[in-house]
Amino acid sequence: MAIDPALLEIIVCPADHGDLTLAADGGELVCGSCGLAYPVRDDIPVLLVDEARKP
């Protein structure tokens, strides 16, 4: 995945404002606080709670 590292430093989980990290396979951003996993489609993070996978 080609998500800009600067972008990863400023975006947060919309559910609880926790830090997001890119999953090992690059297909999701995972919240370190609540565990919600947000999909990354075409290198664009989809930060919609309704689209997130629950832990």
Segment holding 35, helix H or strand E: none
Say what the pTM is: 0.89
Report the candidate in 23, 32, 33 with the shortest Cα–Cα distance to residue 3.
Answer: 23
Domains and CATH numbers, the chain: 5-51 (2.20.25.10)
- Euclidean distance between CA atoms 4 and 34, whole angstroms: 23
Sheet of 37-41, strands arranged across = 20-22, 28-31, 37-41, 44-45
pLDDT confidence of 3, banded at 50, 70, 90?
Answer: confident
Q: What is the pLDDT of residues 15-38, one digit of tens each?
A: 999 999 999 898 999 999 999 999
2: pLDDT strictly greater than 80: no
